[in-house]
Structure 1
Amino acid sequence: MRNNKLFIGRKIRDLREANRLTQAAFAERIGISTSYLNQLENNQRSVSASVLLALAETFRIDIADFSAGESARLLSVLSETISDPLFETSRPSLQELKLVAQNAPGFAHALIAAHQAYRRNSEQLASFDDSFGQSVAVEPTPYEEVRDFFHFVDNYIHDLDLAAEDLSSKLRIPDRHPFTALPEHLERRHSVRIDRSSPDEQTLRRYDPETRTLLLDPFSPVSTRSFQVAFQVGALEMSATIEAIIDSANFHSNEAREICRIGLCNYFAGALMMPYETFLASATELRHDLELLAMRFGASIEQVAHRLSTLQRPGRKGVPIFFARIDRAGNITKRHSAAKLQFARFGAACPLWNVHQAFERPGQIIRQLAETPDGIRYLCLATEIGKGGGGFGTPQRRYAISVGCEITHAGDFVYADDMELDNRRRYDPIGISCRICERTNCVQRAVPPLKRRLVVDRNKRGAVPYQLD
């Protein structure tokens, strides 16, 4: 049946290009004809089990990589979009959504963009008063555009990653500390010197192209200063590559282009401080111990957690993890998931998720076994992060980060060693967001789910003043 067929043309093409092989050479390696490979890459034919096995054996990849990834992320966003009551009378089944995500991703993206515009339009109309005649902006915000760009490229930028890895090898990072190697490289290659910024300037980094001086906050941790130097290296050396990536993204505004430019320089900086193959090997050796990885690479725990979420190189993927940063109000300000867990685009995070507890226990890594409504179980880690400095009275930014994986990969994490992974009662029932969570008996529910009808009995009151039909 067509529903069971797997169309993964883009993934096969990405794998071939990552290995720098022509179609003819790639087809020969896995024992098929060039014409068949061309049909696979263009999704004109589904991939067979024998070809999947050949890909796995030849390029040392996990077959599961081909059934998740971009389609899973797109399916998650598409499912949330379709949950809107707007589609109540014509809601497609999950299987239909899977077919759209796999075989017509362009249509799926167009529908998601249209729904985003509809939501923004509705929210602005609801807040109008005497300004009713003004025009309504329906374009996505620049930050939303850039967030979606990184989400749909799997938070992995191949060209930048390879370039950063090559440079880090020449600079002998991490054998040499980044804050030793990178300033030397910046001065030798670009004649840029490092200096201290004024205490009252309140900027992490400021580059003066006239004097070729990079000013850094002297009160920032060494890991932060290393990252800012790496950022400047990327801005100076990778501008052409970054510009080409931005051009291919077709952003709607110059603001989005600039935000993405910063994001890509940040990506390069992380990849330069934590080069792919070395970091992947260390993560395996140290069993994803965030603190040990931070010490080995001269990085912060947040930098390490974020880098773990980018280990998506075709044929050399790391453990599929999710990563998020959340503030005290429950807003998710950074997010990416290579696991099945996908974060909601609208609304706050589930209050039962342990990331909220991190603010109550600063300095600790909090562990949680959790299960989502679809029955998938996860190992969740959370810790509070504080940024600031400069003495008493200086404002501090405080937020929490969350890192985790599906329970099938928990053995790769040192944090799971003494946890009862096989005991179902140890798993907390978490959701993605109240608006799309189907749990009927959650005591922390904030709002009703969009897809369920409410039953209200004024003579009966439970944890919430309604029941779900």
Structure 2
Amino acid sequence: MQMSYGKLFIGRKVRELREANRATQAAFAERLGISTSYLNQIENNQRPVSAAVLLALAEKFQIEIGSLASGDDDRLLSALVETLADPIFDGYSPSLQELKLVVQNAPGFAHSLIASHQAYRRTSEQLASFDNQLGRSSALSEPTAFEEVRDFFHFVDNYIHDLDVAAEKLAAQLDLPERNAEAAIAEYLEQTHNVRIMRAPPGNDLLRRFDPASRVLFLNSYSPPATRTFQMAYQIAALEQQADIQRIITNADFRTHEASEICKIGLQNYFAGALILPYQTFMASAKELRHDLELLSTRFGASLEQVSHRLSTLQRPGMKGVPVFFATLDRAGNITKRHSAARLQFARFGAACPLWNAHQAFEAPGRIIRQLAETPDGVRYLSIATEVSKSVGGYKAPHRRYAIALGCEISYAKDFVYADGLDLANRDVFEPIGISCRICERTNCPQRAVPPLKAKLSFHPLSRSIQPYIIP
């Protein structure tokens, strides 16, 4: 669920910027051309920053205004709002301003509250099925390793600077994307690491297997070229980027070794994507081709999923791309990957809204489905979705099917070829969607699966509409 933020209170960020420059309040205020008392009020979120102060921050300290106005606070505020929607907090309804003050001044507290709520929900869900075992293991109240790693990437803005820059540097060395990426990366592995590429034995459904003794990387010959290229790039990360990856994992301070290992895979995947789709070249191409996924896929020899995922990582400070949301989901509506640099933030629990066009992608394989959508807070979006089917074999091999969804706020829609021909100015054509039923505020949705968590329901025994209850 999203909200309009109004005035900009960024005291913590201003204070961190001042401390990073080792300046006193008096010296920092002088550089900004404001009084020390005004700066003190800004840092304590007693007054919002003015446009003049924002421009002075950008000019004097070479920072991007957008990095102050959005980003981590948006994601954290969204997660906090969803947490406090739980009925266990019934009777406590903080204002939006109160929540923003918590997020801006005490983000550690907000993260701890969210983590505690996650533990509560997991324990409650486990209790429903395993109440006879509940007291036997403290592990039931801890986040799963996958949840912990998912949140790590979510709260670092899905951008890992050191790995991204290293991948971009290597891409320039290999002259990507001017050269064929599959051939260039295979050649680099052999010449630099003495690693040969060979086909995996028939009947093996592995995508990749590396034998350190023989220095052979076995790849599934039935995989698409984009997949084989990605797996080779992943192997480069495994051979060259372990020091940086280990440092990132250590700083993340995961609870379990399992989470560290999952994050290691995620970070190596990140490097692979950044190598095949080098940051500045890819961002320039995305702008030139108006984010046409198929043209970008062809230009870089990548899959539609790789291109879509990479668009969601274009969050380099001072050089950000169009803020997009990206997700993959299965036929049951479960979101398996998610990230949003836009104001739309995905629910942490429950399935995706059934009115979202991502579900329609399964009904039209091979097509890109467009949707103009509006969330309950009044924010409007362009959303595109397409189905993906993957297999590592022939007719009898299992096929994995899922949908990719990508989109942006309507103010950026003209940067996307998919907006052509749509009536962006007509609010009536925007379909109402939510985040998930459990926190959606809409009272008259024909597809509602469950009532909103804090709703006080009423019932009319003598009449019946679509839902068997009425949400006041």
* TM-score of the superposed pair, with normalisation by structure 2: 0.91
Residue 448 (structure 1) aligned with residue 451 (structure 2): yes
Classify the secondary structure of the residue corresponding to 1:460. Answer: coil
The aligned counterpart of 1:312 is 315
User: CA separation in 1, counterparts of 2:234 and 2:301?
Assistant: 15
Q: 1:219 to 1:249 in 2, by over 3 A?
A: same
The aligned counterpart of 1:74 is 76
- Report how many residues are paired: 456
Alpha-carbon contact 1:15-1:314 (below 8 Å) kept: no
Q: By how many angstroms is 1:130 displaced?
A: 4.5
Structure 2 letter corresponding to 1:263: G
The aligned counterpart of 1:96 is 98
Classify the secondary structure of the residue corresponding to 2:338. Answer: strand
Classify the secondary structure of the residue corresponding to 1:214. Answer: strand
User: CA separation in 2, counterparts of 1:343 and 1:357?
Assistant: 18
Identify which of structures 1 and 2 has the higher relative contact order when contacts are C-alpha pairs closer than 8 Å and 6+ apart: 2
Q: 1:349 to 1:72 in 2, by over 3 A?
A: same
Structure 1 letter corresponding to 2:227: T
Alpha-carbon contact 2:32-2:57 (below 8 Å) kept: no
Structure 1 letter corresponding to 2:293: L
Residue from 459, 462, 465 that aligns with 1:462: 465
Classify the secondary structure of the residue corresponding to 1:146. Answer: helix
Structure 2 letter corresponding to 1:342: Q
Identical-residue share of aligned pairs (%): 62
Greater CA drift, 43-52 or 300-309: 43-52
Residue from 83, 86, 97 that aligns with 1:84: 86
Matches within 5 A, 1:190-205: 190-205=193-208
Residue from 289, 297, 300 that aligns with 1:297: 300
The aligned counterpart of 1:424 is 427
User: CA separation in 2, counterparts of 1:16 and 1:135?
Assistant: 44
Residue from 49, 52, 55 that aligns with 1:53: 55
Q: Where does the alignment leave 5 or more consecutive residues of structure 2 unmatched?
A: 1-5
Q: By how many angstroms is 1:352 displaced?
A: 0.3
The aligned counterpart of 1:255 is 258
User: CA separation in 2, counterparts of 1:388 and 1:14?
Assistant: 49
User: CA separation in 2, counterparts of 1:162 and 1:183?
Assistant: 21
* TM-score of the superposed pair, with normalisation by structure 1: 0.92
Alpha-carbon contact 1:59-1:315 (below 8 Å) kept: no
User: CA separation in 1, counterparts of 2:457 and 2:265?
Assistant: 45
Q: By how many angstroms is 1:177 displaced?
A: 1.5
Classify the secondary structure of the residue corresponding to 1:381. Answer: strand
Q: 1:407 to 1:57 in 2, by over 3 A?
A: farther
Cα-Cα RMSD: 2.5
Residue from 288, 292, 314 that aligns with 2:291: 288
Structure 2 letter corresponding to 1:82: L
User: CA separation in 2, counterparts of 1:141 and 1:89?
Assistant: 30
The aligned counterpart of 1:107 is 109
Residue from 214, 236, 239 that aligns with 1:236: 239
Residue from 191, 209, 213 that aligns with 1:210: 213
Structure 1 letter corresponding to 2:80: L
Q: By how many angstroms is 1:124 displaced?
A: 1.4
The aligned counterpart of 1:268 is 271
Q: By how many angstroms is 1:55 displaced?
A: 4.2
Classify the secondary structure of the residue corresponding to 1:455. Answer: coil
Residue from 405, 410, 420 that aligns with 2:408: 405
User: CA separation in 1, counterparts of 2:18 and 2:149?
Assistant: 24
Residue 179 (structure 1) aligned with residue 204 (structure 2): no
Q: 1:57 to 1:366 in 2, by over 3 A?
A: farther
User: CA separation in 1, counterparts of 2:32 and 2:18?
Assistant: 16
Q: 1:438 to 1:247 in 2, by over 3 A?
A: same
Structure 2 letter corresponding to 1:449: P
Residue 362 (structure 1) aligned with residue 365 (structure 2): yes
Q: By how many angstroms is 1:65 displaced?
A: 3.6
Residue from 376, 381, 393 that aligns with 2:379: 376
User: CA separation in 2, counterparts of 1:294 and 1:68?
Assistant: 29
Alpha-carbon contact 1:61-1:316 (below 8 Å) kept: no
Q: By how many angstroms is 1:13 displaced?
A: 6.2
The aligned counterpart of 1:327 is 330
Q: 1:57 to 1:408 in 2, by over 3 A?
A: farther
User: CA separation in 2, counterparts of 1:438 and 1:148?
Assistant: 25
Residue 121 (structure 1) aligned with residue 123 (structure 2): yes
Q: Where does the alignment leave 5 or more consecutive residues of structure 1 unmatched?
A: none
